[in-house]
Amino acid sequence: MKITYENLIKFDNIAARWLKNLNNENTKLGYAIKKVSKKITVLLKPVSELDEQLQIDVEDIRSDNALTDPTTKAFIYDLVGEVRHYKYTPETRKKRDNEIRIKIKQYNVDVEKLLSQEIEFTTPYFATEIPKDLTLEEKDAFKEIVIKK
């Protein structure tokens, strides 16, 4: 079947919340969810790669705009409590903030495209027993992934 990344994430989030109840974890549906979640984690790798790339790009922007000592070329830091932060001039701070804003806008566009993308998904396992107390949200998220139609 075809499924969007967005629906895989929805399943993953709702399944994780559902499994937090220990009574749910030790059911046939809990078993199916854990088994399918392993496959979904692999399928969601492009989404996590986008997140990781944003983190890398933002850190690069911060360091590119940070002040350095003219002699040693070492970064200059502000100490906030026990945490060191790069130091900036008002101009470099403004440049940094603008570059980060642009990077995040592009990231949001890329994520939106990726989330709407459909991929082929074949469930490795359907639950053979379904608890009667599933909410509509849970039924909808689990349908065709761990619960047969």
Q: Is the pLDDT of residue 80 over 90?
A: no
Task: Let me know: does 99 contact 61? Beta carbons within 8 Å.
Answer: yes
Q: What is the pLDDT of residue 93?
A: 97
User: What mean pLDDT comes out for the span 54-59?
Assistant: 98
Task: Let me know: does 123 contact 144? Beta carbons within 8 Å.
Answer: yes
Q: Is the pLDDT of residue 63 over 90?
A: yes
User: What mean pLDDT comes out for the span 67-90?
Assistant: 94
Q: What is the pLDDT of residue 89?
A: 96
Q: Can you say how many angstroms the Cα of residue 90 is from the centroid of all Cα atoms in its chain?
A: 32
Strand duo 2-4 + 118-120: pairing: antiparallel
Task: Let me know: does 143 contact 32? Beta carbons within 8 Å.
Answer: no
Task: Let me know: does 107 contact 54? Beta carbons within 8 Å.
Answer: yes
The CB density around residue 97, as the number of other CB atoms within 10 Å, is 13
- Here the tokens at position 120 are 């082929």
Q: What is the pLDDT of residue 82?
A: 86
Prediction pTM value:
0.79
pLDDT digit string, tens, across residues 115-131: 999 999 999 899 999 99
State percent of the chain over pLDDT 70.
Answer: 100
Q: Is the pLDDT of residue 53 over 80?
A: yes
**Distance separating alpha carbons of residues 123 and 28, to the nearest angstrom:** 15
Q: Is the pLDDT of residue 29 over 90?
A: yes
* DSSP H or E run through 53: helix 45-65
Q: What is the DSSP letter of 128?
A: S
pLDDT grade, residue 25 (50/70/90)?
confident
Q: What is the DSSP letter of 130?
A: -
- Here the tokens at position 82 are 């026990």
Q: What is the pLDDT of residue 96?
A: 98
* Average model confidence (pLDDT) across the chain: 95
Q: What is the DSSP letter of 4?
A: E
